[in-house]
Structure 1
Amino acid sequence: MNVKVDSKGRVLIPKSIREMVELKDGSYVNVTVQGRRILIEPLEPVASKYRGAFKIVKWPEDLDEFIFEVMRDWWKQRAT
């Protein structure tokens, strides 16, 4: 299937493909390059991956986004 890259480098993944791999608004994907191929693979939701690993008193509205931000901050601190 051919799709167009916009001026900001974005590509619209057709709805039929998003449905096949269960990508929803806000889902995270892993993007890698193999030769001249760009691979986009859906990531398992962070909340599902770590279910039961933490005791949380109050759940954030978007748990995946919350964990992503915490991990990004941790990596920034570790890099300095």
Structure 2
Amino acid sequence: MEVKVSAGGRIVIPKEIRDRLRIKEGDRILLEVRNREIILKPCIDNPVNELYGSIPVKPEDSPKKVAREWVRRRLEKLDL
């Protein structure tokens, strides 16, 4: 998708993409440069805060099982 750079180097992330990734006003975006490419990713300010309480954990649940469930839910949230 092509976007135009405006004054001050600003670009607009199209609404279709913002909706798909659930990016809203005030969210922070991680910007990376790799081999002359610009990569934008939604930021997770503190992964612990994002995880806390999101998955009910029983004492018998292994950390691996909990991590897999978190990844599954995160990918579902990002619609991937």
TM-score bracket, normalised by the shorter chain, equals 0.5 to 0.7
| One-letter identity of the residue aligned with 1:5 | V
| One-letter identity of the residue aligned with 1:2 | E
Give 5+ residue unaligned stretches, structure 1: 53-80
- The alpha-carbon deviation at position 50 of structure 1 amounts to 2.2
Count of residue correspondences: 51
Q: TM-score, normalised by structure 2?
A: 0.56
- List structure 1 runs of 4+ shifted beyond 4 angstroms: none
- The alpha-carbon deviation at position 7 of structure 1 amounts to 1.8
Check whether the contact 1:27–1:45 (CA below 8 A) recurs between aligned residues. Answer: no
Higher relative contact order (CA 8 A, sep 6+): 2
Corresponding position of 2:30: 30
C-alpha root-mean-square deviation of aligned residues, in Å?
Answer: 1.8
| One-letter identity of the residue aligned with 1:30 | L
**Aligned equivalents of 1:14 and 1:25: distance in 2?**
13
Q: TM-score, normalised by structure 1?
A: 0.56
Identity of aligned residues (%): 33
Check whether the contact 1:29–1:43 (CA below 8 A) recurs between aligned residues. Answer: yes
1:51-70 equivalences in 2 (<5 Å): none
- Cα deviation 1:2-53 (Å, max 9, x = unaligned): 110012000000000000111000000100100110000001254x74266x
Corresponding position of 1:39: 39
